[in-house]
Amino acid sequence: MFVGHNNYSKEDILRIAKEENVRFIRLQFTDLMGSIKNVEIPFSQLEKALDNKMMFDGSSIEGYVRIEESDMYLYPDLDTWVIFPWVTQSKVARLICDIYLPDGRPFPGDPRGILKKALKQAEEMGYSSMNVGPEPEFFLFKTDEKGNPTTELNDQGGYFDLAPMDLGENCRRDIVLTLEEMGFEIEASHHEVAPGQHEIDFKYADAIKAADQIQTFKLVVKTVARQHGLHATFMPKPLFGMNGSGMHCHQSLFKEEENAFYDESDKLGLSNIARHYMAGVLRHARSFAAITNPTVNSYKRLVPGYEAPCYVAWSASNRSPMIRIPASRGLSTRVEVRNPDPAANPYLALAVMLAAGLDGIKNKMQLPAPTDRNIYVMSEEEREEQGIPSLPLDLKQALEELIRDEVICDTLGEHALAHFYELKEIEWDMYRTQVHQWERDQYLTLY
């Protein structure tokens, strides 16, 4: 009844909506910054929406268009139909939409469309799908008597702890049950390293479905947390001195049923395709960081000592580099890119990582030697000697790297790049000119 990503027809959806007495439908899409937006319609308008005739004003959406070109159309993806299990009084369903211009062209600033364009390029190179297994982490904080979030943690648990240390366990269990009711296949759910930090892993899917699922996952986590009197945040580094939240992305390319990353004759089980792909990801890593790590706060996570990767390297046996090769082989052979964080727009993040990997394949880029030592204990000289660069130190540096990389800029397209860059420059400038509490603590009495 609730499952998303089935092969639904227009008639199926109208029938199910009627049988289940669905009163409202949310037509969902994602803005450039990764925030979920929706236009809610009553059941009486569902048929019109399914005929791609539902319009909205694009000028009010972050990074979309100016007022004089604001009319846009929502084209629902029928396979994303799902009824929200948590709404009890009037049932509400959702459909995830692609954004189109009035002349029938896909809107170039639609993040989902940008990922589809990158996947089309992979298809033209002979890869039928990109499989992605995301691991978004989050924190649970207590709320105050007005329901506003505090920075007070609701537990003192650590990695894989159980109740009574892990007081978030009931909330996490309810999140898992809700996700399963919505068609997710949950593989694992556990407490993460930091107190108050959690991770729920769901089964890999093709890239579009995986990005859709990340957005749905965030919505469910925040909704269920609120029901438990908690605030869930996907902010990359909410607390100083503790691990931040990442969103490791396991990825592989397939040619129909065959995993293009696997080669049983290789001692690591990796094909040349996988090696070229990784080389491309490493080559473009500093440039796509602005997309995979898109906030000022993201770079507080990418520092040594908290299990987050800050160096551009790879290994099959070591967790400090940016790319790790998990142990599974055969159809499960994959590359785990560990620098993205859950503040990233998942559609854009997957698009730029895919484009970087495809560039590596196209140009047969040579993969550097693996780094099997702990990079955190290496000196700067040792890292330089081994050719291991760092990821950008802050958002400003990341934006400078982004704008210089033709492959990543082309993937985003002119419209999205210009708007993303402008919004992020404003963010950096506001941060740079703000006086922070740390500065007052350090300098107010000293000088």
Catalytic site residue from 319, 404, 432, 440: 319
Catalytic residue check, 319: yes
181 annotated ligand binder: no
Show the CA angle centred on residue 395, arms to residues 297 and 59, nearest 5°. 90
Query: Could you give the residue ranges of the DSSP H alpha helices within 128-271?
Result: 169-181, 207-227
Contact (CB, 8 A) for 248 and 336:
yes
Catalytic site residue from 79, 181, 336, 372: 336
204 annotated ligand binder: yes
301 annotated ligand binder: yes
180 annotated ligand binder: no
Catalytic site residue from 77, 166, 192, 212: 192
11 annotated ligand binder: no
Cα–Cα distance measured from residue 365 to residue 369, given in angstroms and rounded to the nearest whole number: 13
142 annotated ligand binder: no
Amino acid at 119: L
CA dihedral 55, 57, 62, 65 (to 10 degrees): 100
Catalytic residue check, 124: no
Catalytic site residue from 334, 338, 341, 359: 338
Handedness of CA 344, 345, 350, 352 (dihedral sign): negative
> What is the bridge-based pairing of β-strands 323-324 and 314-315?
parallel
385 annotated ligand binder: no
Catalytic site residue from 199, 263, 341, 359: 199
Catalytic residue check, 144: no
Cα–Cα distance measured from residue 292 to residue 215, given in angstroms and rounded to the nearest whole number: 15
Cα–Cα distance measured from residue 137 to residue 364, given in angstroms and rounded to the nearest whole number: 34
Catalytic site residue from 31, 98, 135, 359: 135
307 annotated ligand binder: yes
406 annotated ligand binder: no
Catalytic residue check, 425: no
Catalytic site residue from 248, 275, 286, 324: 248
User: What's the gap between Cα 32 and its chain centre?
Assistant: 12
Catalytic residue check, 284: no
252 annotated ligand binder: yes
154 annotated ligand binder: no
Contact (CB, 8 A) for 72 and 55:
yes
Catalytic residue check, 62: no
280 annotated ligand binder: no
Catalytic residue check, 135: yes
Report in angstroms the alpha-carbon separations of 349 from 129, 207, 220, 294: 16, 11, 21, 10
68 annotated ligand binder: no
396 annotated ligand binder: no
| DSSP letters spanning 81-124 | -EE-TT--SSEEEEEEEEEE-TTSPBPTT-HHHHHHHHHHHHHH
Catalytic residue check, 248: yes
338 annotated ligand binder: yes
Catalytic site residue from 110, 137, 161, 359: 137
> What is the bridge-based pairing of β-strands 129-143 and 197-202?
antiparallel
215 annotated ligand binder: no
Catalytic site residue from 20, 40, 57, 258: 57
Catalytic residue check, 276: no
Q: What residue numbers does the annotated binding site for ATP cover? A: 187, 202-204, 250-252, 319
Residues annotated as binding site for L-glutamate?
243-244, 301, 307, 319, 338
Where in the sequence numbering do the catalytic residues fall?
57, 135, 137, 192, 199, 248, 319, 336, 338
- Known binding-site positions: 135, 137, 187, 192, 199, 202-204, 243-244, 248, 250-252, 301, 307, 319, 336, 338
Known binding site for Mg(2+): residues?
A: 135, 137, 192, 199, 248, 336
